[in-house]
Amino acid sequence: MPEKAKVDQTVDCIGLYCPEPVFRTRQEIDKMVVGQVLEIIADDPAAEQDIQSLIRRTGQKLIEIRKEGSHIRFLIEKVK
Q: Could you list the active site residues?
A: 18
Strands 37-42 and 61-68: unpaired
Q: How far apart are CA 2 and CA 72, in angstroms?
A: 16
Helix (H), strand (E) at residue 48: helix 47-58
Q: Residue 31: is it exposed, middle or buried by C-beta count within 10 angstroms (0-12/13-18/19+)?
A: exposed
